[in-house]
Homo-oligomer: A and B are copies of this chain.
Amino acid sequence: MPATDATDVKALLFDVFGTVVDWRSSLIDDLSAYAAQRGLEGDWTKLVDVWRQAYVPSMDAVRKNPQADFLTLDELHRRSLERLVGEFGIKGLTEDDLNYMVTGWHRLKPWSGVVAALERLHTKYILAPLSNGNVGLLTRMAKNAGLPWDMVFGSDIFRHYKPDPENYLGAAKLLNLQPGEVMLVAAHNYDLRAAQALGLKTAFIPRPTEYGPLQTIDFDATGDWTIVADDLAGIADQLGC
């Protein structure tokens, strides 16, 4: 039987980077293999970690300047990368190389067991990512990884980045649902806190290796979430799928 507080839920929305896909290992593997093939030298682990560290500040710059054009995460990734390859002294990159590296975010691999758990949840719920990634990125990622989304909510639909309320409430509205009929699934407490404050249901799973040795938070649930489980299969169990 479903968890009591989840009986009204019709749709599950998923944070993606870290929750569904293992961006760090995927990118390190992808860039290292590509660099070896192209004869490029660089500290790819460090590059990936610093690239990801540019993520929140780059989105915040968009958020604080709402009168400017919205920049997608692909565009922010590209700008950060151009700066970082200079700082890292990586030489000999062509336009094709930069494009390949930026679209590494389109080829991220899911954590173990994700696709099977999503297939279980898909039988009973509408499933969609609710990510700061853009539609183009998330659509290609899903095709590459076999993620069975019914819809793709990229941040460029809302022209806002989470945790802005427009994303959570906008997704519920586009699905003809009340906030309480939607559950956000995330490995990040801040994301669930924003969703809960707007009336959405919440589900937490830990991803304690997401940031590798740099991880400092989100080892455990720090809020009163509707569901807490070890992984997506545990959420499917609790939802009776």
Contacts and interface: CB of A to CB of B under 8 A. Distances in A.
A176 B137 CA distance: 8
Number of copies: 2
A157 B174 contact: yes
A154 interface: yes
Interface string A144-166: 00000111101011000000000
Contacts of A157: 157, 174
A136 interface: yes
Given A139-B151, A151-B151, A152-B152, A174 B134 contact: yes
Contact of A156 (B137, B142, B174): B174
Contact of A176 (B74, B142, B151, B152): B74
Interface of A: 74, 126, 134-137, 139-140, 142-143, 149-152, 154, 156-157, 174-177
